[in-house]
Structure 1
Amino acid sequence: MREDNKGILLESGTNELEVIVFQVGNGTFGINVMKVREIIQPLDVTIMPHSHPNVEGVIRLRDEIIPVINLAKAIGFEESEHPNNDKLVVSELNQVKVAFHVHSVSRIHRISWEQIEKPNKLSQGLQDLTIGVIKMEEQMILLLDYEKVVYDIMPESGLSSRKLDGIEKKGRAQKKLLIAEDSPILRKLLEDILKESGYSQLMFTEDGREAWEYLQEQSQRNIDLLITDIEMPLMDGHHLTKKIKESSDFKALPVVIFSSLITGDLFHKGERVGADSQISKPEIDKLVQKLDQLLEV
């Protein structure tokens, strides 16, 4: 199964996504189609010395060397009982390609972000690794924080203040930023790095709906710029941007989409909903430079 054709959801800002559903152990999980490059049969793995215990090794796929992450081990689940059904879900996150070893792949669901609830104690003990729960009629599907899974194995793939070396600190303390980001680890990293750069007045929300409600409750005068992820429960970043840019009260508010999903089709969707800029994670230096430009710092 190849996922080269990403021409789904041609209308921008619909607050919808397509999720590939798969199984690991006794759990059912989903991953956004937009993160998936292809789904393949397991290939021969080359074991790498001194690698992380959750990494099985690397595979060679069309001249690319890609690490294989044992997702069962990463989330503390049982290994596959039927290895013949196993699949590799080849994904690209934060400009890093990885293959997640899963136990079977079932189908694709098209759903609204409004159907995705925030994780709670029902998340099979995976609250720290779960960004959302989809309650279907017959099953509960967990959306994992795949960026965190990768970050725990390869911290260099995440945000780093080292990328700010050489960027002058100047007049940023008075600017007020609203940041919509559902991943707890990325909220913390963004807070630490933006404060280190001099942006100290930061307000965080966990999803797009919370950010939209905050804007309505406050006044735009209290916020100088919005940074938003794309993937978030209840309301995604594209839908949030569209609502802001269609609002007479907030359309002048600069919006920067900061996401691991800034690829061809999704970049065009961001343009169509009116985003002022789109930066791919983990390019925190480019984010700070764009903030300076939009805020005329």
Structure 2
Amino acid sequence: MNTGVLLESGTNELEILEFRVGNNFYGINVAKIREILPYQAPTPVPNAHPCIEGIFMPRDTIITVINLAKCLNIPDLKDQTTDMNVITNFNKLNVAFHVHGVVGIHRISWEDINKPDETINSIATGIIKFEEKLIIVLDFEKIISDISPETGLKVSDINHLGVRNRNEAPILIAEDSPLLSKLIEECLSKAGYTNVILTGNGLEAWNKLQEFKNNNRIETSVKCIITDIEMPQMDGHHFTKLVKTDQDMKYIPIIIFSSLINDEMKRKGDSVGADAQITKPEIGSLVEILDKFILQ
């Protein structure tokens, strides 16, 4: 199955792989997928987390296999004829997710992905209505960080920066995960950046910029922008493209802070005008880039 990412940049589109766990349908951004292989029983790892089935080694790379049914508290009915390993790469990790079947790949707009409410936003980043059924786009970063917390934001990196002066430069953040948004805000506050404007996706961030622009306050209201890539309604690449093609905003530095930073996604970020791109766990690197744009 072809899992190549879209060639276009800034179109606010993505490809979603639809798969099945139990009788439910879920989705994952194709940009996170390395390959899809028929399921094979992995080698168990002693004392591993209950959601970890074990490890296997395709193409000379050791990969951890996560049982997605256990993560989602769904009965695990293994069927060797349909079960698959969806091998992913994000946050600089290679991880396989054991699913019960692969349905297909759909090309859709981020505008068609609904933002989940507070009752399910701990497991989902978006909801898609497709052919009269609902597909839940899972928060795979959170699934992995719940299993292995050290894979999340490297908050300890902030402590290594030492004593820092307070800085009131306004920083606009577009991040759809409430947990990550709060963590980023706390980390920036520890680093001295206390004037943070939080928005839940690219569309909310763009509307906030339009509000500042209409009130003739854009130059004083935002000194730097930090944006995720994967967000419902408007993704980070499209948001970046809108800012960088606006004559009144294009000077604002934009940092893409995402789990999806790889060679292909870096090219897409460069093509829409991103000033810097950092892999999401590296919060210390994010602060260093902020210092470069704001303090120098």
Verify: 1:257 aligned to 2:256, yes or no. yes
Tell me the CA shift for residue 160 of structure 1.
Answer: 2.0
Residue equivalent to 2:75: 78
Verify: 1:296 aligned to 2:295, yes or no. yes
Distance 2:24 2:180 in 1: 25
Q: How many residues end up aligned between the 2 structures?
A: 291
**CA deviation string 1:261-297 (max 9, x = no partner):** 1111111111011011111111111111111001125
Distance 2:262 2:35 in 1: 15
Residue equivalent to 2:25: 28
CA contact (8 A) 2:154 2:284 kept: no
- Match runs of 1:132-281 below 5 Å: 132-218=126-212, 219-220=217-218, 221-281=220-280
- Judging changes above 3 Å, is the alpha-carbon distance between structure 1 residues 18 and 52 closer, same or farther for their aligned structure 2 residues? same
Distance 2:23 2:121 in 1: 17
**CA deviation string 1:176-227 (max 9, x = no partner):** 1111111122112212222112111111111100000011112322111100
Distance 1:69 1:185 in 2: 22
Runs of 4 or more, structure 1, over 6 Å off, are none
**CA deviation string 1:33-55 (max 9, x = no partner):** 11000000122311112211111
Distance 2:111 2:163 in 1: 39
Amino acid at match of 1:217: E
**CA deviation string 1:75-106 (max 9, x = no partner):** 11221363421000000121111100100001
Give SS of 2:26's match: strand
Residue equivalent to 1:50: 47
Give SS of 1:128's match: coil
| Unaligned stretches of 5+ residues in structure 1 | none
Tell me the CA shift for residue 61 of structure 1.
Answer: 2.0
Distance 1:78 1:166 in 2: 44
CA contact (8 A) 2:42 2:55 kept: yes
Distance 2:127 2:243 in 1: 26
What is the identity percentage for the equivalent residue pairs of Structure 1 and Structure 2?
47
CA contact (8 A) 2:90 2:261 kept: no
CA contact (8 A) 1:91 1:97 kept: yes
CA contact (8 A) 1:175 1:199 kept: yes
| Unaligned stretches of 5+ residues in structure 2 | none
Verify: 1:285 aligned to 2:277, yes or no. no
Distance 1:113 1:255 in 2: 20
Give SS of 1:287's match: helix
- Match runs of 1:101-140 below 5 Å: 101-120=98-117, 126-140=120-134
Moved more, 184-193 or 140-149: 184-193
Distance 1:105 1:205 in 2: 33
Amino acid at match of 2:294: L
